[in-house]
């Protein structure tokens, strides 16, 4: 259980960090909503699941050496330290003879584990009751308020100060303000967007998860991110319907300056989120930039799948994958950071692979389908460092292959080839925070498709260009320190 909680915390934290770094400030709000919900579900369930993959499948991204360390090692370290603190070893005591007929002394003792579980249960029960009480309060407001139908929603008019907010198909408004015409049409449009897009489902999910995982601070960060994303979606809808951005911004500041929210489970206009919303409304959308971040995100997610879903412990080594009935390998490779340090190889490459004898592996590592013995994956290692890997389909044909250039323990180049052996993508990674790296993609005919430069944590710099199969420029933008400066085409 402790290992699950630690691994889940790590995975949720890294996914949240990726969202903050790559997605939150992009105008891809619908995708961002999906990503946040996916991150929550994946982060809580992935440590419980073993996927049928091999380690070579997912080593196609950036900073692999950091992600491998997020796997078993931290979780096991925390587990050992916690377990040693709460589990007492049975003491060795001298055996005492009990006289015949003397009743044995009986008693009931409570361990530290029992106390912690009892405390967790009490707090969870309290929060669950409060959660249910909030829903009952909303139901009472709906019952006591005046109702008015509008589009697919029901307005609930209340005789009390309240910020406009929604819960499923119900929109709560101050009755006096509504009847006097002081609630602008943009406010209603904003709340109707919450209703149409079922934002209340997301809020209920995170609120329920907060009840179960109240001890995890990441749940509160996810809730804030989800609510902010909801506001971005609603603002986007209002502006796209023709409202003036300046007038809408002024109205938001005025509305958020007073009144109050009914409950944490409702979607309301929050003053604390207003500054980010105002900045997002005037931010330029770039399909090129968003697409580039998607390219960066996919291999990282694949890496997380491997690191958090396919690990076990065996004979002092961290086993990278659990081969099941569909795959088998005659050679099992492991990572062992203590062994890497002992041999002076900790800086030679990310995740040095050792064989069962504890030696850095050099050679070809093959994984085959158990049913037909056909090759599924093949990786080439040199002194434990991954040099290339290839994926095959069920018929034995090449799906894709990757080659890696490693300098000083970090991937410097990552190349992807298609089934015909043609180069389709190449990453050159920054060697320092200030150095410039490149991303390139190619069309099937060999013509350059995409080119961009970046530094640090994917801060785009200079020209980003998209080409057609004839080499003509389709789109082109210029960036400085990650900010879009000019759309050239």
For residue 209, the model assigns a pLDDT of 95
Residue of 452, 86, 128, 463 lying closest to 292 (CA atoms) = 452
148: pLDDT strictly greater than 80: yes
Q: Bigger pLDDT: 109 or 132?
A: 132
Band (pLDDT 50/70/90 cuts) for residue 94 is very low
393 to 242, 321, 368, 400: CA distances (angstroms):
50, 19, 11, 9
Band (pLDDT 50/70/90 cuts) for residue 293 is confident
Cβ-count burial 365-404 (b if 16+ within 10 Å, e if not): bbbbeeeeeeebbbbbbeebbbbbbbbbeeeeebebbbbb
Using CA atoms, how far apart are residues 127 and 133, in angstroms rounded to an integer?
10
- For 229-268, what is each residue's pLDDT tens digit? 999 999 999 988 888 888 888 887 777 665 555 666 655 5
Please report the sign of the dihedral spanned by the C-alpha atoms of residue 351, residue 356, residue 357, residue 362.
negative
What mean pLDDT comes out for the span 343-368?
79
Q: Bigger pLDDT: 94 or 50?
A: 50
Per-chain mean pLDDT for the chain: 77
- For 356-410, what is each residue's pLDDT tens digit? 888 888 999 888 877 788 888 888 888 888 888 888 877 778 877 878 775 555 5
Q: What are phi and psi of 74, to 5 degrees?
A: -65, -40
The lowest-confidence range among 39-53, 68-82, 116-130, 138-152 is 68-82
123: pLDDT strictly greater than 80: yes
- Give the burial class of 163: count Cβ atoms within 10 A of its Cβ; 0-12 exposed, 13-18 middle, 19 or more buried: buried
For residue 257, the model assigns a pLDDT of 61
Quote helix, strand, coil % in the chain, to nearest 5: 40, 25, 35
Q: State the pTM of this model.
A: 0.58
Q: Bigger pLDDT: 317 or 412?
A: 412
Inter-helix orientation angle 185-196/245-256, to 10°: 80
Band (pLDDT 50/70/90 cuts) for residue 354 is confident
Band (pLDDT 50/70/90 cuts) for residue 411 is low
Residue of 37, 44, 4 lying closest to 23 (CA atoms) = 37
What mean pLDDT comes out for the span 88-116?
51
Q: What is the DSSP string of 348-411?
A: TSTT-EE-TTSPBP-EEEEEEETTT--EEEEEEEETTEEEEEEEE-TTS-EEEEEEEEEETTEE
207: pLDDT strictly greater than 90: yes
Share of the chain above pLDDT 90, in %: 23
312: pLDDT strictly greater than 90: no
CATH topology for 288-487 is Outer Surface Protein A; domain 3 (3.90.930)
18: pLDDT strictly greater than 70: yes
Band (pLDDT 50/70/90 cuts) for residue 70 is very low
For residue 398, the model assigns a pLDDT of 81
H or E stretch at 228:
helix 218-240
72 to 69, 77, 277, 336, 337: CA distances (angstroms):
7, 8, 39, 11, 12
197: pLDDT strictly greater than 90: yes
For residue 167, the model assigns a pLDDT of 92
For residue 16, the model assigns a pLDDT of 92
Band (pLDDT 50/70/90 cuts) for residue 430 is confident
The lowest-confidence range among 61-70, 72-81, 304-313, 418-427 is 61-70
What mean pLDDT comes out for the span 166-177?
91
The lowest-confidence range among 91-105, 166-180, 397-411, 413-427 is 91-105
Instruction: Report the alpha-carbon angle 193-196-199, nearest 5.
Output: 80
What mean pLDDT comes out for the span 315-322?
38
Residue range(s) occupied by CATH 3.90.930.1 in the chain: 288-487
What mean pLDDT comes out for the span 204-225?
94
Q: What are phi and psi of 310, to 5 degrees?
A: -135, 40
For the chain, what's the residue count? 489
For residue 221, the model assigns a pLDDT of 94
- Structure tokens of 354? 């050792």
Across-strand partners of 406?
411
For residue 267, the model assigns a pLDDT of 53
31: pLDDT strictly greater than 70: yes
Using CA atoms, how far apart are residues 69 and 317, in angstroms rounded to an integer?
13
The lowest-confidence range among 156-160, 213-217, 326-330, 460-464 is 326-330
275: pLDDT strictly greater than 90: no
Band (pLDDT 50/70/90 cuts) for residue 28 is confident
């Amino acid at each position: 259980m402790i290992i699950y909680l630690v691994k889940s915390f790590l995975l949720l934290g890294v996914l949240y960090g990726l969202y903050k770094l790559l997605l939150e400030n992009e105008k891809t709000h619908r995708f961002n909503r999906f990503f946040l919900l996916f991150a929550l579900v994946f982060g809580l369930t992935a440590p419980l699941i073993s996927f049928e993959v091999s380690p070579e499948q997912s080593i196609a991204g950036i900073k692999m050496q950091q992600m491998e360390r997020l796997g078993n090692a931290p979780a096991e370290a925390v587990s050992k330290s916690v377990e040693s603190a709460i589990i007492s070893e049975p003491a060795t005591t001298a055996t005492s003879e009990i006289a015949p007929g003397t009743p044995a002394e009986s008693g009931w003792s409570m361990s530290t584990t029992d106390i912690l579980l009892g405390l967790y249960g009490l707090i969870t029960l309290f929060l669950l009751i409060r959660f249910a009480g909030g829903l009952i309060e909303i139901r009472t407001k709906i019952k006591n308020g005046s109702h008015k139908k509008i589009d697919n929603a029901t307005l609930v008019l209340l005789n009390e100060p309240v910020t406009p907010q929604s819960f499923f198909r119900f929109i709560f408004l101050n009755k006096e303000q509504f009847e006097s015409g002081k609630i602008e049409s943009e406010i209603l449009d904003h709340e109707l967007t919450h209703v149409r897009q079922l934002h209340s489902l997301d809020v209920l999910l995170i609120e329920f998860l907060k009840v179960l995982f109240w001890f995890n601070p990441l749940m509160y960060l996810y809730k804030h991110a989800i609510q902010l994303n909801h506001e971005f979606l609603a603002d986007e809808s209002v502006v796209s319907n023709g409202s003036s951005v300046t007038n809408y911004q002024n109205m938001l500041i005025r509305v958020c300056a007073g009144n109050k929210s009914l409950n944490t489970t409702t979607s309301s206009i929050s003053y604390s989120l207003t500054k980010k919303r105002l900045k997002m409304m005037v931010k330029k959308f770039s399909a090129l930039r968003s697409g580039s971040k998607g390219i960066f995100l996919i291999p990282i997610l694949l890496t997380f799948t491997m690191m958090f879903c396919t690990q076990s412990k065996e004979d002092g080594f961290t086993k990278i994958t659990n081969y099941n009935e569909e795959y088998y390998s005659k050679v099992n490779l492991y990572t062992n950071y203590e062994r890497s340090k002992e041999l002076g190889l900790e800086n030679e490459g990310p995740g040095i692979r050792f064989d069962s004898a504890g030696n850095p592996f050099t050679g070809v590592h093959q994984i085959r389908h158990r049913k037909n013995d056909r090759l599924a994956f093949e990786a080439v290692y040199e002194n434990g460092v991954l040099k290339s890997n290839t994926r095959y389909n069920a018929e034995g044909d090449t799906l894709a292959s990757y080659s890696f250039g490693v300098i000083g323990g970090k991937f410097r180049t990552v190349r992807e080839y298609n089934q015909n052996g043609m180069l389709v993508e190449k990453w050159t990674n920054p060697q320092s925070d200030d150095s410039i790296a490149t991303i390139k993609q190619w069309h099937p005919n060999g013509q350059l498709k995409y080119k961009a430069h970046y530094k640090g944590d994917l801060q785009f710099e200079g020209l980003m260009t998209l080409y057609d199969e004839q080499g003509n420029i389709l789109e082109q933008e210029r960036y400085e320190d990650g900010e879009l400066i000019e759309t050239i085409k």
